[in-house]
């Protein structure tokens, strides 16, 4: 008589192997989850910021100065100390004196320029200002656009009523348009305004010149 199938030894071997395979499969499934990498960092909807880096040819960061596109071009943007004489002619017309004089005068001799390389380095204004504030406004209109006040003081002649009000300025435009020697002992870019006055005439003239020597 044949043995029933569950009484045969190889039947139980198959059962054991089958159960073992199922158990092993479950173990592998539980081990897969811990091995997955889940990102916990929040996702930002903001666009990524970009930084432009200028290639300077070396590994050091350099600060880029923002200046006028062209310093010589900037010198033609005003009429006054440091400006080209052609700018005076464009505004006031042809000179009112002989071309071989030391000073070139404009606007019926109201403005007198001493020039180097056709640029005004000393400017005398026969002003009509009635007070210091009006004189300063006139000085500002005849100064480079970037001029900054450095110092202000007064000089009075002994035993006279002659008074000079001194204002010292500095300008990067002038610094870049003139040789250092033209500023004397002053820092390059320095220029001075002298408001001349007395009790009889009040303010009668203003002088602008490179350097800081009154």
d(CA 105, CA 116): 15
pLDDT in the model for residue 179: 94
| CA-to-CA dists, residue 120 to 2, 142, 158, 178, angstroms | 130, 11, 32, 11
d(CA 177, CA 172): 9
pLDDT in the model for residue 17: 74
| Cβ atoms of residues 139 and 208 within 8 Å | yes
Phi-psi region of 212 (alpha: psi -120 to 50; beta: other; left: phi over 0): alpha
The 10s digit of each residue's pLDDT in 63-102 is: 333 344 344 444 456 899 999 999 999 999 999 887 667 8
DSSP 109: T
User: How far is residue 100 CA from its own chain's centroid?
Assistant: 40
| Cβ atoms of residues 124 and 116 within 8 Å | no
pLDDT in the model for residue 142: 95
> How many residues are given for the chain?
214
Contacts 24+ apart (CB under 8 A), 19-22: none
Which of 145, 161, 163, 143 lies closest to 153 in space, CA to CA?
A: 163
The 10s digit of each residue's pLDDT in 163-183 is: 999 999 999 999 999 999 999
The low-confidence residues of the chain, meaning pLDDT below 50, are 30-75
Strand, helix or coil for residue 41: coil
């Amino acid at each position: 008589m044949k043995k029933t199938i569950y009484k045969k030894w190889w039947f139980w071997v198959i059962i054991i192997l089958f159960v073992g395979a199922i158990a092993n499969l479950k173990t592998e499934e539980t081990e897969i989850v811990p091995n997955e990498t889940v990102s916990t960092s929040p996702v930002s909807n903001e666009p990524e910021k970009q930084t432009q880096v200028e290639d300077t040819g070396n590994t050091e960061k350099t600060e880029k100065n923002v200046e006028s596109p062209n310093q010589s071009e900037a010198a033609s943007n005003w009429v006054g100390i440091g400006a080209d004489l052609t700018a005076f002619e464009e505004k006031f017309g042809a000179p009112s004196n002989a071309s071989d004089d030391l000073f070139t005068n404009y606007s019926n001799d109201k403005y007198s320029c001493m020039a180097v390389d056709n640029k005004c380095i000393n400017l005398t204004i026969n002003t009509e200002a009635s007070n210091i504030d009006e004189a300063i406004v006139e000085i500002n209109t005849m100064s480079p656009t970037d001029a900054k006040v450095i110092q202000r003081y007064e000089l009075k002649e002994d035993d006279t009523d002659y008074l000079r009000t001194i204002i010292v300025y500095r300008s990067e435009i002038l610094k870049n348009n003139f040789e250092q020697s033209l500023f004397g002992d002053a820092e390059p870019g320095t220029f001075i305004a002298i408001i001349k006055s007395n009790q009889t005439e009040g303010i009668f003239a203003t002088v602008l010149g490179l350097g800081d020597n009154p």
